[in-house]
Amino acid sequence: MKSIKKAIIPVAGLGTRFLPATKTVPKELLPIVDKPTIMYIVEEAIEAGIEDIIFIAGRNKEAIEDFFDVSFELEKVLEKDNRTDLLQDLVAIRNKANFISIRQKEPLGLGHAVFCAKPVIGNDPFAVLLGDELSAGSIKTTQELVSLYEKELCSCVAIMEVEKESVSKYGIIDGVQVNKNTYEIKRLVEKPSQEDAPSRYAMPGRYVFTAGLLDELQDLPPGRNREIQLTDAMDMLAKKERMLGYISAATRYDAGDKLGYLVANIEMGLNHPQIGSALKQYIKQLKGNL
């Protein structure tokens, strides 16, 4: 059995939902409390045993590569001032993985972005983590999917139940329940209308795939929004190989829009060792004033 050691993290998006903040700063570097969102994603991958992190980046995303590299001047100054604790978490994760960056030259869709990693993935199974959802808790979603893959030896993707009104925002599965948290996926549809949705089980952006997925992406024509869709390739794969959908037990934060991003900041802030109790106090006071 080949274990999951490689993860693809697409970071090519323009971040238009967060303009003007994202005009010159990649949206992946916007902080949740004191860590950029991409750091949470990379931590989740490393906790799942990933060794090679493959960023699929667009232009103007060099700051993400730099973030996971040594910052010589800053680190010398921190060392001199005995403040290396400020970067200790970052140094710990950057030493645990290789960071590989591949350019997606044109924004042709998520499926295309994933396919750009083929030269690094080869014939190995791999994980994909999208940046809008953050997984929290001691066992995060990617680790759950890797464990399921190791048991079942097939592609495994995270699913979650959403309101009927939200199905058109996600890739939706059609599946047969095999146990409490697991569905065998038969078909997938990218962002269906409420009428066409085969279920209310949506994919929040965590996947583990066999290398067969890349074969389906090769020569895949554009689908919804004239983009090469990951969901379309998954649909083809699910017809050839077993594919499981798994309802994760981890806590999730949707940081992909303004409200979700603020909520994620508050929730993570409440658990933060330095500001957690002060924030709790503030919220209590705020509630009294509302």
CA 107: distance to chain centroid? 18
172/165 Cα distance (integer angstroms) = 13
Is 197 within 8 Å of 189 (Cβ atoms)?
A: yes
Where do we find the tokens 């090679």? 52
In the complex with ligand G1P, the residue whose CB is nearer, 132 or 174, is 132
Stretch that binds ligand G1P, among 15-23, 70-78, 84-92, 201-209 (CB under 6 A): 201-209
How far apart, in Å, do the first and last CA atoms of the chain sit? Answer: 57
Stretch that binds ligand G1P, among 37-45, 145-153, 158-166, 202-210 (CB under 6 A): 202-210
In the complex with ligand G1P, the residue whose CB is nearer, 36 or 171, is 171
Stretch that binds ligand G1P, among 32-40, 173-181, 200-208, 268-276 (CB under 6 A): 200-208
Q: Which residue has the closest beta carbon to ligand G1P?
A: 171
Is 169 within 8 Å of 196 (Cβ atoms)?
A: no
The single residue among 190, 216, 232, 235 that binds ligand G1P, judged by CB under 6 A, is 190
Is 131 within 8 Å of 38 (Cβ atoms)?
A: yes
**CA-based nearest residue to 135, from 57, 54, 257, 43:** 43
Note whether 204 binds ligand G1P by CB under 6 A.
Answer: yes
Mask: binding to ligand G1P, 216-255, rule CB under 6 A, as x and -?
--------------xx------------------------
Helix, coil or strand: residue 118: helix
Note whether 210 binds ligand G1P by CB under 6 A.
Answer: no
Note whether 134 binds ligand G1P by CB under 6 A.
Answer: no
Note whether 131 binds ligand G1P by CB under 6 A.
Answer: no
Is 244 within 8 Å of 185 (Cβ atoms)?
A: yes
The single residue among 202, 208, 233, 279 that binds ligand G1P, judged by CB under 6 A, is 202
Contacts to ligand G1P from residues 85-124, by CB under 6 A:
110
Note whether 205 binds ligand G1P by CB under 6 A.
Answer: yes
Q: What does DSSP assign to residue 158?
A: E
- Pairing mode, strands 52-57 and 98-103: parallel
By CB neighbour count within 10 A (0-12 exposed, 13-18 middle, 19+ buried), where does 138 fall? Answer: exposed
Total of residues contacting ligand G1P (CB under 6 A): 12
In the complex with ligand G1P, the residue whose CB is nearer, 10 or 36, is 10
Which residues of this chain interact with ligand G1P, rule CB under 6 A? Answer: 110, 130, 132, 170-171, 190, 202-205, 230-231
